[in-house]
């Protein structure tokens, strides 16, 4: 039997109505929403009925995505599909901490609320944004970004790198790239994973002293190092704090997981972003996604048919 990895999506993947079908299809998913609702009243309604503008605000997007992604993961486990490892893109690393049992579900949700608050505060000070640059190498984007005062922050897949910076500088950089690459603005409210977020990283590190981190039940791969937490040479709290102001090494993370024997990857949460990135990184990998009741059943059946459960 091959190894299954659960992948947790990041901010920008939120969509109006997300999670409702999972809530209707799974008792495990319903229980996750119930717990999240107790910790942040009104969150379920935000996921199911919130408008795009509401869901784009960092303080709303992050806890909403946490709830939906965790609900999808637990719904799949309810059907007998258990992960052998996990990774999460940016925000997704926080629900992945709960999935790996490095943090309790309650502590992970408290963490995502604090993380969102601090990142929103930094974003409001900076007035920055992010954009995906498609069609250039990692090295080209990094060099161009350095020349123009923005930061290459997310190394997603071959030919796709995300940059971050102040809004006016980012707009000028996008204009410079016209004719060289395709530039796609992201639905986020700040220059995340750049030095603009260092204040949030420092404050979160202090706040996390109240949390209890364990070794976990399965390997969790860190954005900041592209290695399992156990091999990164830092504590879990250090990795979580560092991630906010450091690049996401997603391509290297996926390549490391594949070299470690993972061959089936399930994106749990809204959208297919991570699934589509993985297809570019490793076309031979089995890439699936769970975002509603129908995809939940189909994914479980596919994994069982391919002897993953």
pLDDT digits (tens, 9 = 90+) for 123-135: 999 889 999 999 9
Kindly state whether residues 84 and 57 are assigned to the same domain.
yes
pLDDT digits (tens, 9 = 90+) for 259-281: 999 999 999 999 899 999 999 99
Reduce the DSSP state of residue 68 to 3 states and report it.
helix
pLDDT in the model for residue 225: 97
Kindly state whether residues 45 and 102 are assigned to the same domain.
yes
Model confidence at 112, pLDDT cuts 50, 70, 90, reads: very high
Kindly state whether residues 152 and 275 are assigned to the same domain.
no
What's the CATH code of the domain at 134? 3.30.70.250
Residue 218 backbone phi and psi in degrees, to 5: -135, 160
Tell me which of 151, 167, 185 is where a domain ends: 185
Kindly state whether residues 277 and 240 are assigned to the same domain.
yes
pLDDT above 70 covers a percentage of the chain that reads 100
Spot the catalytic one: 25, 174, 189, 193: 193
What's the domain count of the chain? 2
Is-catalytic flag, 56?
A: no
Kindly state whether residues 138 and 109 are assigned to the same domain.
no
Alpha carbons 290 and 72: distance in angstroms, whole number: 6
Kindly state whether residues 220 and 165 are assigned to the same domain.
no
Residue 255, in any domain of the structure: yes
Residue 190, in any domain of the structure: no
pLDDT digits (tens, 9 = 90+) for 212-259: 999 999 999 999 999 999 999 999 999 999 999 999 999 999 999 999
- Which ranges of the chain would DSSP assign to H, the alpha helix? 20-25, 27-39, 43-49, 52-56, 58-78, 93-99, 105-126, 138-148, 167-176, 198-207, 236-244, 250-259, 273-281, 293-305
Tell me which of 167, 185, 203 is where a domain ends: 185
Q: Give the structural domain span for 260.
A: 3-124+195-305
Residues near 100 by beta carbon (within 8 Å), at least 6 away in sequence: 86, 216, 217, 218, 219, 220
Is-catalytic flag, 90?
A: yes
Kindly state whether residues 106 and 150 are assigned to the same domain.
no
Kindly state whether residues 10 and 73 are assigned to the same domain.
yes
Instruction: Find the radius of gyration of the CA atoms of the chain.
Output: 18
Residue 32, in any domain of the structure: yes
Q: Is the pLDDT of residue 1 over 70?
A: no
Reduce the DSSP state of residue 215 to 3 states and report it.
coil
Q: Is the pLDDT of residue 187 over 80?
A: no
Kindly state whether residues 114 and 68 are assigned to the same domain.
yes
Model confidence at 13, pLDDT cuts 50, 70, 90, reads: confident
Spot the catalytic one: 90, 174, 289, 295: 90
Kindly state whether residues 72 and 171 are assigned to the same domain.
no
What pTM, to 2 d.p., does this model score?
0.94
Kindly state whether residues 213 and 105 are assigned to the same domain.
yes
Alpha carbons 80 and 304: distance in angstroms, whole number: 9
Contact (Cβ atoms closer than 8 angstroms) between residue 161 and residue 200 = no
Residues near 210 by beta carbon (within 8 Å), at least 6 away in sequence: none
Average pLDDT on 73-86 reads 97
Residue 80, in any domain of the structure: yes
Residue 72, in any domain of the structure: yes
């Amino acid at each position: 039997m091959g190894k299954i990895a659960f992948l947790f999506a990041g901010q920008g993947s939120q969509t109006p109505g997300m999670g409702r079908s999972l809530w209707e299809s799974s008792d495990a998913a319903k229980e996750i929403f119930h717990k999240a609702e107790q910790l942040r009243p009104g969150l379920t309604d935000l996921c199911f009925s919130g408008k795009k503008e509401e869901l784009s605000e960092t303080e709303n997007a992050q806890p909403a995505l946490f709830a939906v992604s965790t609900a999808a993961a637990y719904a799949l486990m309810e059907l007998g599909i258990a992960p052998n490892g996990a990774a999460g893109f940016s925000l997704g690393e926080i629900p992945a901490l709960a999935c790996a049992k490095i943090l309790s579900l309650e502590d992970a949700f408290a963490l995502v609320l604090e993380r969102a608050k601090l990142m929103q505060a930094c974003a409001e000070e900076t007035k920055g944004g992010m954009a995906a640059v498609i069609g250039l190498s990692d090295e080209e984007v990094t060099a161009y970004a350095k020349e123009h005062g923005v930061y290459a922050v997310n190394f997603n897949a071959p030919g796709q790198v995300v940059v971050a910076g102040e809004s006016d500088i980012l707009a000028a950089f996008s204009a410079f790239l016209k004719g060289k690459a395709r530039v796609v603005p992201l639905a986020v409210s700040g220059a995340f994973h750049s030095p603009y977020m260092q204040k949030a990283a420092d404050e979160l590190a202090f706040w996390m002293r109240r949390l209890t981190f364990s070794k976990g039940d399965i390997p969790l791969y860190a954005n900041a190092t592209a290695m399992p937490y156990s091999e990164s040479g830092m504590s879990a709290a250090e990795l979580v704090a560092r991630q906010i102001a450091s690049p996401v090494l997603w391509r290297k993370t996926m390549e490391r997981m594949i070299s470690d024997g993972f061959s089936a990857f399930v994106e749990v949460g809204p959208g297919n972003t991570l699934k589509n990135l993985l297809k570019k990184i490793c076309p031979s990998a089995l890439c699936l996604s769970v975002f509603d009741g129908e995809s939940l059943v189909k994914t479980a059946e596919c994994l069982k048919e391919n002897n993953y459960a």
